[in-house]
Amino acid sequence: MKTAIFKRVMSLLAVVLVVSMLLAMVGCGKKPEPDTSKPTLPGDVSTDVSNDESDRSDVSGDDTTTTEGDVSGESTDSSDVSGETTDASDVSGGSTTADKTTGKTDGKTTGKTSGKTDATATTGKTSGKPGPIVTQKTTKSTTSTNAPTKTTLDEQDKDNVLAQVPEKLKNQKIKMLIWWEKGLEDDVKAKTFKDETGITVTYETAEMSKYQTRLSSMVMASNSPALAAIINEWYPQPITRKLMQPISATGWDYTEDIYATAMMDQFSYKGQYYGIALKGSTMSTFMVMFYNKKILQQKGVTKTPSDLWKEGNWNWETCLDICRKTTDNSKGETGVTCTYINYWMLSAGQDFVLSDKEGLKNNIKNEKLVDAWYFAWDMIYTHKVVDTSFTSSAPFYAGKSAMYGTGSFAMQADPLRTSYVPQNMEPGSWGVVPFPSPKGMDPVAACQGTVWGFPTGKKNSGDTLQAAMWYLRYFLDDAAYASPDYYPTDECWKVMDWMWDQKIQSFNSIGVLTYGGEYTAASIQYTLIDEASSKDKLKSNLDSWYSVLDANINKIVNEL
């Protein structure tokens, strides 16, 4: 669809949204014990992320709703194109999920941001509000109508994905399993796709905390949806439990630059991709650092984080230097407040568990990971430059913290999300940069990621699989949101665009840690930065979790 058409559509939708809003106003060395009572800690994406993002859970509770694209924005019940679904026992392993992003999580933000978890920003909870939003620059793709033969899209018409959908796929019906309430943007996309291709798209919504259970039951009942997501806190269970098939089954070529292979790598298993991501999509939440220009100026900081970033000198050390200059504990002023403390670990390219060609790898004893937690400890307790109330945005908005580390969803110019940083500060008073990485190493884009793929099942093959791939390509690569106007400043756009081209580290160890339901995403982190502990015990505290992760990794692998 052409950008001009989308602009007119979105202008109309903006009016609808305004009307809708007006109407709405009327222990060291020992195996850690299961953690079920520890207080919420920044980084626990299995818990409420408070005022920093919208609730991403489905408002319908346990019910699932199947709806077909409708530009009216209202959820209309329709028959399930693939048959009735049957509830089955949860085969997800009891993993703890979060209200996604990012963003997804906003979107695992998850809004569509990944909608994902700080994990990504989310969508409105009432009918008629837009669903998660994705952004992407449209480029050419390579695909096939009959795998494994590959067909390259017409280079002269590379900006119109819809025009490239094979005629033979007309009348195919596909279903997409989502965790947000279907919104106007989803309706417009499904309707446009059907008008242009003849392929019918329906959405089925499952509460996020029950998303994996729903997917499992649908697969077991031979009623798989054509499209489903894997967000960071679920990985790798949908794969090891054979709920998702390798994307190689589509026969598509995913080597083009538009595909975010750095993100897809995070969700691979033993050399196989199980989901795709497109650069620019807000389905994943990246970690960024906002800063207050006035505070930095008042404290005599001559180079802003943006200045340092542009000259290639934005790192942990320069960040700490700014924090020291802007901290005055006697006045309750700190250099930075952070949503999640694990940002330091991720920005060093580390996670408690990593995936490589051999499978899952227990990484908790990695020296770089240990150093990252030492640095986080020093920031909080040695240098005392981090706000320890862990109330996230509040100190920043109140002018008590010079910088604010949070998710990229906060950069978006969405009028429905009033907690976003740009809408809580005066224009021109703030700036934003990627979250810093250690000095001397290549930058790493820390994130809470999301990919989309294809559930297993006989129905999800052949032309149905091809139709699903075409819709996913269109869904994640919609030219309507490929404009910098989606962000309040050019700097936001440049930051987001830059992060997609860096090495990416998603917080994917959550699914391993929470496997079996004994632990939460905050369990390890609580033992590491608990003030009642000490820096001297940090390494031994990390080591104490090695056997727990090893046991969970073995459980997951044995299910194969």
Give pLDDT tens digits for 509-555. 999 998 878 888 788 887 787 766 788 889 999 999 999 999 999 99
329 and 458 together in one domain: no
Q: What is the dihedral of CA 266, 269, 274, 276, to 10 degrees?
A: 20
Identify the pLDDT of residue 84. 35
In a domain? residue 132? yes
Q: What is the pLDDT of residue 560?
A: 65
Task: With cut-offs at 50, 70 and 90, classify the pLDDT of residue 255.
Answer: confident
Residue 13 lies in a domain: no
Same domain, 176 and 226: yes
Instruction: Please give the torsion angle defined by the CA atoms of residues 251, 254, 259 and 261, in that order, rounded to the nearest 10 degrees.
Output: 120
What tens digit of pLDDT does each residue of 11-66 get?
444 433 433 433 333 333 445 655 443 333 333 333 333 333 333 333 333 445 55
pLDDT-derived band of residue 416, with 50, 70 and 90 as boundaries?
low
Residue 103 pLDDT level (bands cut at 50, 70, 90): very low
Q: Is residue 202 assigned to a domain?
A: yes
* Per-chain mean pLDDT for the chain: 75
Instruction: Verify that 231 and 277 share a domain, yes or no.
Output: yes
Same domain (yes/no): 432, 467: no
Cβ neighbours of 277 (radius 10 Å) = 27
Which of residues 396, 431, 448 is at a domain's end? 448
- At 392 the three-state DSSP class reads coil
- pLDDT mean over 160-174: 92
- Give the least confident one: 130-139, 166-175, 292-301: 130-139
For residue 516, is it within any domain? no
Q: Examine the domain organization and report whether 47 and 186 are in the same domain.
A: yes
Q: 441 is in which domain, residue-wise?
A: 286-448
| 10 assigned to some structural domain | no
Residue 229 belongs to a domain: yes
Is 415 part of a structural domain of the chain?
yes
The confidence score (pLDDT) of residue 419 equals 60
The one-letter amino acid code at 465 reads L
Determine the 3-state secondary structure of 209 from DSSP: helix
Structural domains in the chain (count): 2
Q: Is residue 537 included in any domain, yes or no? A: no
Tell me, yes or no, whether 335 and 437 share the same domain.
Answer: yes
Contact in structure between 474 and 161 (CB atoms under 8 Å): yes
- Domain match, 74 and 58 both: yes
In terms of pLDDT, which residue wins out, 419 or 55?
419
Report the CATH number at residue 431.
3.40.190.10
Query: What angle is formed at CA 383 by the lines to CA 380 and CA 387, rounded to 5 degrees?
Result: 40
* Same domain membership, residue 255 and residue 112: yes
**What is the distance in angstroms between the CA of the first residue and the CA of the last residue of the chain?**
42
Kindly state the greatest CA–CA separation across the chain: 71
Residue 478 and residue 392 share a domain: no
pLDDT digits (tens, 9 = 90+) for 77-86: 333 333 333 3
Round to whole Å and give the CA distance between 512 and 549: 7
**274 and 290 both lie in a single domain:** no
Q: Could you tell me which residue, 351 or 115, shows the higher pLDDT? A: 351
Same domain, 355 and 370: yes
Q: Are residues 121 and 259 in the same domain?
A: yes
